[in-house]
Amino acid sequence: MKPRSIVLATGLAIVFATLPVLAHHAFNAEFDRQKPVTLTGKVTRVDWTNPHARIYFDVKNDKGEVVNWDFEMGSPNGLMRNGWRRDSLKVGDEITVTGWLAKHATNVGNAGTVTMKATGKRLFAASSEGDAQ
Amino acid sequence: MKAFLTIAVSVMLAVAISPLLSAQWPDYPTANVPLLPNGQPNMEGPTPRTPDGKPDLSGIWALGRGGGGGGRGQRGQGRGDAGAGAARGAPATPANTPAPAQARGAAPAPTPPAANAGPPVASFFDLGSGIQGGLPYTPWAAELRRQRMADNMKDNPDAHCLPIGLTQLHLHPQPRKIIQTPKLIVMLYEAQGGVRQFFMDGRPLPNNDPQPWWYGYSIAHWEQDDLVVETTGFRDDVWLDVNGSPLTTTGKMTERMRRPNYGTLQTDITIEDPKSYTKPFTVRVNHRLMLNTDLIEFICQENEKSSQFFEPASK
């Protein structure tokens, strides 16, 4: 089996291990799929709440200033079905978030994946991006 | 050989991930599941029946094959169709994709009988995605839908934690539960905590209800093995799909629900609404049974912070 096949198979397994979720609103009503973003920082707060779990984390910008970001994830039921627990993220955890920026709000985004720096564990954040039109 | 290895590695990885999916749900297995000789659930087994001989529609139901759950056109066959809440239940098997992770207690998705026959399959975003030329909108409805889409569907009631149009509930990735008694059937929807009652005691539909309802008023009866549910009394501002296909107070919805085998629920939905549509139309939604799981509470108003960021801003 060639490495490329392994990568493909791994990708398929991960993709199809994720279970569906949907935001309670259309992705395009809030976020811009043309503005993907990757941010690394430290968790300051986790709202394990409906209709979206939200993570707040501090990120150091290019000027060395610390900025607090607010990222929307799926609802807790969708996250649970994708392997999350309500204590999967804790204040102080270092994470890398990939996602998309809000159209107009500052320092707000929609999370696609969250990777834990300590373990390298990557969790599907139940983004609704894939369901956007 | 290469293809075999690819699939084999996929399955191994999926199995490795599956404990994660099943890690936090109480272990209450579904009772009386028909089994195959290998011990796996037989999702294509016989339709269960109640003591009076009627099909028993009870169960937790996820969007199924051809359920059209996702976004553009029929792309709901992909992740959006992969079985909301399939963790510990029967996983989805999208029609044209490899099998997903086999969660514990899982079984292959059943094949709906005569899957290629019947009305066009609806999708969550566009109820008419399977209808050539789309839904038969009146000019008023076409303009209203155009405006709703131009506004990024931000005024879909769902986006403001209000009740979802019934067809959106049918197609929503979050599962639904049917509780069946001889004279009353109740449908519980995880999405927005929706509740519907199908009255089967012979009462007629009300014709002078002064208070239209989000979910309308439903009566039902059996026609052989089809449960026929008639619903009227809707509000004037229903969104049948995320793109904003309307339904108004002049509207009527007729659902023909059947369980052709153990693991499949099939619902043909006919919409009549002369204000919104030039003629009636019928679409199909397929659901598949989820095993060993239940609905999870969803209280949308708990911490709704999205709408403040909508674009364009809500009026």
Task: Summarize pLDDT for B292-315 with one digit per residue, the tens.
Answer: 989 999 999 998 888 887 877 655
Q: How far A6 CA sits from the closest chain B CA (Å)?
A: 7
Q: What DSSP line would sit under B32-80, residue for residue?
A: S--B-TTSSB-TTSPPPB-TTS-B---EEEEE-TT---SSSTTGGGSGG
Report chain A residues whose CB lies below 8 A from the CB of B125: 131, 133
Q: What is the mean pLDDT of residues B46-59?
A: 97
Which two tokens mark A104? 């107009």
CA-nearest residue to B84 within chain A is A20
Instruction: Report residue A67's pLDDT band, with 50, 70 and 90 as the boundaries.
Output: very high
Reported as a single tens digit per residue, the pLDDT across A7-51 is 444 443 333 344 555 667 788 888 999 999 999 999 999 999 999
- At A11, the amino acid letter reads G
Are B85 and A77 in contact by the 8 Å Cβ rule? The answer is: yes
Whether A76 contacts chain B with CB within 8 A:
yes
Considering CB atoms only, which of B85, B242, B301 is closest to A81? B85
Chain A hits for B242, CB-CB cut-off 8 Å, are 26, 133
Is the CB of A17 less than 8 angstroms away from the CB of B69? no
A83 touches chain B (CB under 8 A): yes
For tokens 């996929």, name the residue.
Answer: B10
B194 CB neighbours in chain A (<8 A) are none
Full set of structural domains in chain A with CATH: 20-131 (2.40.50.140)
Give the distance, in angstroms, between the CA of residue A77 and the centroid of all CA atoms in the same chain.
Answer: 15
Q: Where are the domains of chain B?
A: 48-300
The listed range with the strongest mean pLDDT (B62-71, B74-83, B93-102, B267-276) is B267-276
Chain A nearest C-alpha distance from B109 (Å):
14
Q: Do B303 and A51 touch (CB under 8 A)?
A: yes
Name chain A contacts of B298, Cβ cutoff 8 Å.
50-51, 75, 77
Closest residue of chain B to A3, computed from CA coordinates: B6
Q: Please tell me which residue, B176 or A7, carries the higher pLDDT value.
A: B176
Nearest CB to B87 within list A1, A29, A81: A81
B42 and B36 in contact (C-beta within 8 Å)? yes
Looking at this predicted complex, what is its ipTM? 0.74
| Cα A39 to Cα B21: distance, rounded to the nearest angstrom | 26
Q: Is the minimum CB–CB distance between A63 and chain B shorter than 8 Å?
A: no
Predicted confidence band at B66 (pLDDT cuts at 50, 70, 90)? Answer: low
Of B11, B71, B174, the CB nearest to A133: B71
pLDDT at A128 over 80: no
pTM of the model: 0.79
Q: What is the pLDDT of residues B180-216, one digit of tens each?
A: 999 999 999 999 889 999 999 999 999 877 789 999 9
In sequence order, what are the residues at sequence separation of 6 or more whose Cβ sits closer than 8 angstroms to the Cβ of residue B116? none
* Closest CA of chain A from B299, distance in Å: 6
Q: Are A112 and A41 in contact (CB under 8 A)?
A: no
Percentage of residues in chain B with pLDDT exceeding 70?
Answer: 74
Q: Using the beta-carbon criterion (under 8 Å), do A82 and B21 form an inter-chain contact?
A: yes
Tell me the two tokens of residue A42: 């430290």
Task: For residues B17 and A11, give the distance between their C-alpha atoms in angstroms, rounded to a whole number.
Answer: 13
Amino acid B113: pLDDT: 56
Min Cα distance B49 → chain A (Å) is: 30
pLDDT at position B114: 53
Residue A72 has pLDDT above 90, yes or no: yes
Residue A80 and residue B79: Cβ atoms within 8 Å? no
Which positions in chain B touch A28 (Cβ < 8 Å)? 152-153
What is the pairing mode between strands B246-247 and A66-72? unpaired
Residue B105 binned pLDDT confidence (cut-offs 50, 70, 90): very low
Q: How distant is the Cα of B170 from the closest Cα of chain A, in angstroms?
A: 14
pLDDT at A6 over 50: no
Task: Out of A20, A52, A72, name the one closest to residue B79 (CB).
Answer: A20
A40 to chain B, closest Cα gap in Å: 23
Judged by average pLDDT, the poorest of A65-69, A104-108, B246-250 is: A104-108
Which stretch of A58-67, B84-93, B222-231 has the lowest confidence by average pLDDT? B84-93
Highest mean pLDDT among A82-91, A114-123, B9-18, B225-234: B225-234
Q: Say if the Cβ atoms of B306 and A131 lie within 8 Å.
A: no
Do residues B168 and B124 lie in contact, with contact meaning Cβ atoms separated by under 8 Å? yes
pLDDT of residue A15: 38
Residue in B closest to A53 by C-alpha: B303
pLDDT, mean of residues B164-178: 95
